[in-house]
Amino acid sequence: MPAMQLHWDLFCRVVDNYGDIGVCWRLARQLAREHGKAVRLWVDDLASLVPICPDCDANLPTQHVQGVEIRRWTENFTVDRVGAVVIEAFACELPSPYIAAMAATTPKPRWINLEYLTAEPWAESCHGLASPHPSLPLVKHFFFPGFSPATGGLLRETGLPLPAPHNEPDPLEISLFCYDTAPVASLLAALAATRQPSVCHVPPGKPLTAVTTVLGGAGPWQLGAARIAPIAFLPLDDYDALLRRCAINFVRGEDSFIRAQWAGRPFVWQIYPQDDAAHHVKLEAFLDRYCAAMDGELATTMRGLFTAWNSGHDIAALWPTFVARHQEIARHNAQWARHLAGQTDLTTALVNFAAAKV
């Protein structure tokens, strides 16, 4: 039976403009390229896929791009077949006609809910748990990405280069990808007060809106020795290259957060905000793991900077230490990336998990 699991259906509702679809697109590509799966990616907002995958046409209901069949997910959902494996990304809730078709299929498909990434310890005990449907002969399993072998691991393509020492350009390059709640004004003030020349790359959308709200005009802007430069939105592979090139990366959500860790450069993460402030608990759980091998002073700086960036507080007092020690942070991050790369990547773990479930 496991050898017959060729057809996979992956469902994605776009919530965080590029985080959800970024994860799902990377997963779909890797399933097709490295594992030979026939993947259909169902997306409710194709317009969010186009900037990270310019080969996609948001006007087409069905298309094939980079080995993946992309389908527009509409409210009037029609079932032609169900996959041998069905991935419900981030609890997006499958269409009811599709669930009914799954229940009528023999053998039953492997139904997996791909959860959001968290470093919280409880994810290890919940990874792989089964949830029988209350009225249909179906079982859904929960699959948790994570930072330990007891979880599903992280998305990482075969052959992805691990961090290596490199000569940093002058000026210092910084990428800024954030939500509009980030304290961008304090970052710009800190850059303006720093003597070392720098250039900060700002993509369109919420990052550029936050910058223009502070500075006005259309840019680029010169603040002391810092140049703030708008850039075009980059496809995923080009964005990955930018993260590897920059000395410091501000990232947000899940997809760019993971890619910043593979890049091995110093980064500052803005977690997706939640109304009940649960994101602060998730942030602290990650920092507990990430900062464990740092010396006390550096760990205090990193915790303070991440917390301030996620709370909308001024980062000016923390920025000088962060910049002064950024090469030391880069060495730590390279070691951190090598540690994470020692675990099975998420896509391989997902394929193995689906094949093992009976």
**241, 94: one domain:** no
The residue behind tokens 């010169």 is 222
**189, 103: one domain:** no
State yes or no: pLDDT of 135 exceeds 70: yes
**258, 210: one domain:** yes
What's the rounded mean pLDDT across residues 97-103? 97
**303, 348: one domain:** no
The residue behind tokens 């919280």 is 120
**147, 137: one domain:** yes
State yes or no: pLDDT of 2 exceeds 50: no
Q: Specify the 3-state DSSP secondary structure of 238.
A: helix
Q: Is 117 exposed, middle or buried (0-12, 13-18, 19+ CB in 10 A)?
A: buried
Of the pLDDT bands very low, low, confident and very high (cuts 50, 70, 90), residue 358 is very low
**133, 190: one domain:** no
How far apart CA 246 and CA 289 sit, in angstroms, is: 24
Parallel/antiparallel/unpaired status of strands 248-252 and 110-114: unpaired
For residue 305, CA distances in Å to 23, 256, 316, 319, 341 come to 26, 18, 9, 8, 26
The total of structural domains in the chain comes to 2
- Contact indicator for 111, 122 with CB cutoff of 8 Å: no
How far apart CA 148 and CA 124 sit, in angstroms, is: 8
How far apart CA 92 and CA 89 sit, in angstroms, is: 6
Residue span of the structural domain in which 283 resides = 172-341
Of the pLDDT bands very low, low, confident and very high (cuts 50, 70, 90), residue 118 is very high
**350, 332: one domain:** no
Check residue 168 and give its pLDDT.
73
Over the stretch 262-282, which tens digit does the pLDDT of each residue have?
Answer: 999 999 999 988 777 778 899
Over the stretch 42-78, which tens digit does the pLDDT of each residue have?
Answer: 999 999 999 999 999 999 999 999 999 999 999 999 9
Check residue 357 and give its pLDDT.
64
Residue ranges of alpha helices (H) inside the chain are 19-35, 96-103, 122-126, 184-193, 206-215, 236-245, 255-263, 278-290, 296-311, 319-324, 326-341, 346-356
Q: Tell me how many degrees the CA angle 137-138-141 measures, rounded to the nearest 5.
A: 155
How far apart CA 59 and CA 15 sit, in angstroms, is: 20
**252, 148: one domain:** no
State yes or no: pLDDT of 1 exceeds 50: no
pLDDT, the chain, mean? 94
Over the stretch 148-195, which tens digit does the pLDDT of each residue have?
Answer: 999 999 999 999 998 887 777 689 999 999 999 999 999 999 999 999
> Which residues carry out catalysis?
20, 254
Over the stretch 200-228, which tens digit does the pLDDT of each residue have?
Answer: 999 999 999 999 999 999 999 999 999 99
Over the stretch 232-251, which tens digit does the pLDDT of each residue have?
Answer: 999 999 999 999 999 999 99
- Domain holding 328: CATH number? 3.40.50
State yes or no: pLDDT of 142 exceeds 60: yes
Q: Specify the 3-state DSSP secondary structure of 253.
A: coil
How many residues make up the chain in this entry? 358
Residues 6+ apart with CB under 8 A from 58: 46, 47, 49, 50
Amino acid at 338: R
**112, 225: one domain:** no
Per residue in 252-277, is it b (16+ CB within 10 Å) or e — as a string?
Answer: bbbbbbbbbbbbbbbbbbbbbeeeee
Over the stretch 4-32, which tens digit does the pLDDT of each residue have?
Answer: 579 999 999 998 768 899 999 999 999 99
- Contact indicator for 196, 323 with CB cutoff of 8 Å: yes
**331, 347: one domain:** no
166 in a structural domain: no
160 in a structural domain: no
294 in a structural domain: yes
Q: What percent of the chain has pLDDT over 90?
A: 91
Check residue 4 and give its pLDDT.
59
